[in-house]
Structure 1
Amino acid sequence: MPGTLKGTEPITDALFAQATTAILDVVGRVIDGKPEAVRFALTALLAEGHLLIEDVPGVGKTMLARALAASVDATVRRIQFTPDLLPGDVTGVSVYNPVEHEFEFKPGAVFANIVIADEINRSSPKTQSALLEAMEEGQVTVDGRSHLLAEPFLVVATQNPLEMEGTYALPEAQRDRFMMRISMGYPDAAAEALMLRQRDTINPLDEIRPVVTSARVLDLIAWVRAVHVSPAIEEYAVALAQATRIHPDLRLGASPRATLQLVRAAKVRAALDGRGFVIPDDITALLIPVFAHRLIAARGTGASRSRSSDGIAETLEQIAASVRVPIASRR
């Protein structure tokens, strides 16, 4: 197991590759046969976004969230969302101190670098909304006072499909706060057989040691921000977003926040591929993970089976095929 990368020297191409490869490697040891899901999780972290993992129970959603958190030497809190969870449990509450004769703020579970919101759609919409300000502004406001959260700050939420018993639909505003939504899917036969052999006596999470510090993650984030996006690529991302807003099969299109997060995620994809500039393939490869969960299908269309259905993904594929792809250049 590699040691924690604590260096303070400026990030270079080689150091960026070393750090990101180390994270992908240790998380990949826990999540067998799902390299794309692991890469998406790292993308959300470095793009300063938040990740929503939606799938049926038992396929490793929480395992992925915990593995990513364990790979970074940072503060981690897990919130088990249940019907009786209160907003104050998430954000914190003011408690009266009889000695000082004043109210003191007691931070909630959201005060950490990485927050695992497990089964987020099993709590009421009121409790879910407690995360809105934290996810967008990096702070929480309680009793009129704002409290800043730590940096970096990442929410990794898991949820079961809406068809599962005891679930609540995430409000549109809450879904829009998540940069990406991904699904784990079932492992293939070889990966599942390997899991049976390896996990009979050992919990792979116990073997994970942090490979980067939180300070180093901030350096990696700053490196990603410097990735070049040409005006043509920006226009391409905007054209894709606008196409969702006028498509007849969609009642709600992508928000401006979605466009911004699409470009940020594309920067990470370019950096992970060793490039200092974004190309059209970076945008189109991330279109479904970034846009699909934000869209609502029009009633009576083939895409209206559910918000996470193949119908919306097919609509996005049609949009990607119809929008002109620019000739990207380095500068």
Structure 2
Amino acid sequence: MEGMSTSQEGTQTNSVIGAEHIEWVQNLTSRARTAMNSVLEGKDEAVGLSLIALLAGGHVLLEDVPGVGKTLLARAMGKVVDGSVRRIQFTPDLLPTDVVGVNLFNQETRHFEFRQGPVFANIVIADEINRASPKTQSAMLECMAEGQATIDGQTYPMPTPFIVVATQNPIDMEGTYALPEAQRDRFLTRISLGYPATSDEVDLLDNQIQNDPLETAAAVTNLEQITQARTIVRHVSASRQLREYIVAILHATRNDQAILLGSSPRGGVHLLRAAKARAALSGRTFVTPDDVQALAPYILAHRIIPRDGDDADLAADLIGRVLSRVPVSANQ
């Protein structure tokens, strides 16, 4: 997209974006949403949230019981974006070098050469990430947090854009490890797919019993367009009052007696980025409190720990209670 101008004021960069930029982002994501919905039955909300994460530049954690379409959603996103896609099946015996790569000695050149692991891709599908050992998960953490991997003291950057779409089964299932708080905090959003509605499940049996739905899915956008869309989304405006509202929500999670550990400041950064993406998808150049309220349970719930146990549904309910208590200013 052309026509965006920037100017420097203090420490913030302001960019003029118009209706044509927002419309372009809407058209791009609409094509991607339609393509992904053709693969998944009745999962439009999850598809929308995953696209918001893609535009906001954040990683996605898909958490639910086996067989509800977590991996299918991750693969569908990889299909519609014309970039490199790698899938890593996490198992208890997976080693960090199986993820990031290893230095191998070349007998001809008499030098060590780095062989990249599958994590070096634009979209990385980390399947059943909580089945890997904490040591392997820590290798993923550097890639997600810093956009780089360090092997034998040498740092290798991830490609751009880089997004991890991870799936995990509930932690009380056999053979799973709970993700550490530091790693969960790196995911922009946690999405639970749930079981499909009866009519959708009937359609699923009809459409997928003989055919692989991914076979008909095709790329509808490319890496350059995703990068441009992210730039537009980043410059959607958010007033100071709106940012103060987000901070008030974060503080409320830290002062709630029912919450043992409140949201990190990173939770606020991710919430604002996601709210900007939602505003753009809604055809606006500015963020409203509705954007924040609609996304807060998906962005903040996995960052808090309830006193009564680390339960996803309870955490989402607690975020809902926090939202009901934090006042919204009329001029936001």
Which category of TM-score, normalised to the shorter sequence, fits these structures? over 0.9
Aligned match of 1:92: 101
Identity, in percent, stands at 50
Kept after mapping to 1: 8 A contact 2:42/2:197: yes
> Partner of 1:327 in structure 2?
330
**C-alpha distance after superposition, 1:7-33 (max 9, x if no partner):** x76672332221110000000111111
1:265 aligns with 2:274: yes
In the alignment, structure 1 residue 274 sits paired with structure 2 residue 278: no
The DSSP-based 3-state class of the residue aligned with 1:19 is: helix
Equivalences, count: 316
SS in 1 for 2:38: helix
Structure 1 residue 306 corresponds to structure 2 residue 315: no
Letter of the 2:30 counterpart: T
* Runs of 5+ consecutive residues of structure 1 not aligned to the other structure: 1-7, 299-303
Give per-residue Cα distances to partners, 1:290-321, cap 9 Å, x unaligned: 111111122xxxxx24331x322222111111
User: Which letter does structure 1 place at the counterpart of 2:310?
Assistant: S
Q: Report the secondary structure of 2:173's partner residue.
A: coil
Displacement of 1:138 after TM fit?
1.1
Query: In structure 1, how many angstroms separate the alpha carbons of the residues matched to 2:139 and 2:147?
Result: 12
1:53-104 per-residue CA deviation (whole Å, 9 max, x = no partner) reads 0000100000000001100000000000001100111111111222222221
| 2:324 equivalent to 1:315 | no
Rounded to whole Å, the distance in 1 between the matches of 2:179 and 2:309 is: 17
- Give the Cα–Cα distance (whole angstroms) in 2 for the partners of residues 328 and 99 of structure 1: 69
Question: What letter is aligned with 1:112?
Answer: A
Q: Amino acid of the residue matched to residue 288 of structure 1?
A: P
TM-score normalised by L of structure 2? 0.93
Which residue among 189, 194, 199 is the counterpart of 2:198?
189
Structure 2 gap ranges (5+): 4-19
Select 2:261's aligned residue among 252, 267, 280: 252
Q: Is the 8 A contact 1:54 1:184 kept in 2?
A: yes
Q: CA deviation at 1:210?
A: 0.2
Residue 43 of structure 2 is matched in structure 1 by 34
Paired with 2:119 and 2:231, the residues of 1 have a C-alpha distance of 23
CA contact (8 A) 2:68 2:194 kept: yes
The aligned residue for residue 148 of structure 1 is 157
Give SS of 2:41's match. coil
* Whole-angstrom distance in 1 between the partners of 2:125 and 2:93: 18
State the alpha-carbon separation in 1 of the partners of residues 331 and 97 from structure 2: 48
Deviation for aligned residue 1:324: 1.2
> Does structure 1 retain, via aligned residues, the 8 Å contact 2:128–2:166?
yes
Segment drifting more, 68-77 vs 318-327 = 318-327
For the residues of structure 2 that align with 1:325 and 1:94, how far apart are their CA atoms? 54
Structure 1 segments of 4+ aligned residues over 3 angstroms from their partners: 8-11
Structure 1 counterpart of 2:35, one-letter code: V
**SS, match of residue 168 in structure 1:** coil
Q: What SS class does the counterpart of residue 84 from structure 1 fall into?
A: coil
Instruction: Spell out, residue by residue over 1:121-161, the C-alpha distance to the aligned partner (whole angstroms, 9 max, x if none).
Output: 11111111111111112111111111111111110000000
If the length of structure 1 is used for normalisation, what is the TM-score? 0.93
CA RMSD of aligned residues (A): 1.3
2:82 is equivalent to residue 73 of structure 1: yes
